[in-house]
C-alpha cells in the first residue's frame, strides 16, 4: 500500500509521520507523476487558496480530481476539506468540488481561531479535535454521512471514498482516524 500526501503547501509532514507510525509508506505528491500508483491520498491543512492555485500550476488538479471521482480514498483535513467542497459559503470559488457539502471558511472568527474539543467521530469515541482557523460544514448533501459535530456544527463527514475533517488529527497523538482511513484503502484493495 502506498499513500500519497499532497505536499505543495501546509502541514503535510505531520500526516506523513502519523502514517509512518502506522507502518505505511508515503510519497509526497509535488507533481502529477507522483500520483502514479498511489492507493489513497491525504490533503493536508494549510491555506486552501494557495493550495488550489498550486494544484493547477503543477498540473495535479485534473488527474487528482479524476482519481477521486473514480474512487481513490481521500482523507482531507481543514484546507483539504475546503479543496474538496462542492460549494464555499459566501464565495463563488471552488476547487476539486468532489464532496457534496457547503463549507464555511474561517468559520469561528478571530477570537476562536484556534481551540480544542473532544467528540465522537463516527464510531471513534472521544477523539481530541484540534481546530486552527478552521472551517465547518454548513450544509451537507443527502448521501453525506455526518461523523462529528461541535456546538451543532458539522466538523467531520464521510461520502463514499472521501473523509472530510475541519480539524487536524495529524496534530494529535491519536492514530485512530488515520487508521480508519487506511481501512478504507484496504477495503478498496480487497474489492479489486
Ligand atoms: N483557514 C484556512 C483556509 O481557509 C484553513 C486552515 C487550516 O488548514 N488549518 O484555507
The DSSP string of 93-153 is --SS--EEEEEETTTTTTTTSEEEEEEEETTEEEEEEEEES--EEEEE-TTPEEEEEETTE
Q: Give the chain's residues under pLDDT 50.
A: none
Determine if ligand 1 sits within 6 Å of the CB of residue 78: yes
pTM strictly above 0.85: yes
* Contact present, 82 and 95 (Cβ < 8 Å): yes
Cell of 6: 499532497
Determine if ligand 1 sits within 6 Å of the CB of residue 105: yes
* Contact present, 155 and 165 (Cβ < 8 Å): yes
- How far is the C-alpha of 152 from the C-alpha of 66, rounded, in Å? 33
Place of cell 463516527: 122
CA of 167 to the centre of ligand 1 (A): 10
- 64-120 pLDDT, tens digit per residue, is 999 999 999 999 999 999 999 999 999 999 999 999 999 999 998 766 679 999 999
Q: Which of these is catalytic: 14, 78, 87, 178?
A: 78
Determine if ligand 1 sits within 6 Å of the CB of residue 174: no
Average per-residue pLDDT in the chain? 96
Crossing angle of helices 61-69/48-57, nearest 10°?
Answer: 100
Amino acid at each position: 500500500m502506498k499513500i500519497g500526501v499532497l505536499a505543495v503547501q501546509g502541514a503535510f509532514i505531520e500526516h506523513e509521520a502519523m502514517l509512518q507510525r502506522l507502518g505505511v509508506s508515503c510519497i509526497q505528491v509535488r507533481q502529477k507523476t507522483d500520483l502514479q500508483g498511489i492507493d489513497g491520498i491525504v490533503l493536508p491543512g494549510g491555506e486552501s487558496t494557495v493550495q488550489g492555485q498550486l494544484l493547477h500550476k503543477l498540473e495535479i488538479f485534473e488527474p487528482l480530481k479524476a482519481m477521486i471521482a473514480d474512487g481513490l480514498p481521500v482523507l482531507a483535513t481543514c484546507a483539504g476539506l475546503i479543496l474538496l467542497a462542492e460549494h464555499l459559503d459566501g464565495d463563488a470559488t471552488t476547487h476539486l468540488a468532489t464532496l457534496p457539502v457547503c463549507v464555511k471558511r474561517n468559520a469561528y472568527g478571530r477570537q476562536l481561531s484556534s481551540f480544542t474539543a473532544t467528540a465522537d467521530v463516527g464510531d471513534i469515541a472521544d477523539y481530541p479535535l484540534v481546530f486552527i482557523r478552521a472551517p465547518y460544514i454548513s450544509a451537507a448533501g443527502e448521501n453525506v454521512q455526518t461523523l462529528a459535530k461541535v456546538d451543532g456544527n458539522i466538523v467531520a463527514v464521510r461520502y463514499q471514498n472521501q473523509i472530510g475533517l475541519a480539524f487536524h488529527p495529524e496534530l494529535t497523538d491519536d492514530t485512530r482516524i488515520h487508521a480508519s482511513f487506511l481501512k478504507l484503502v484496504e477495503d478498496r484493495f480487497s474489492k479489486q
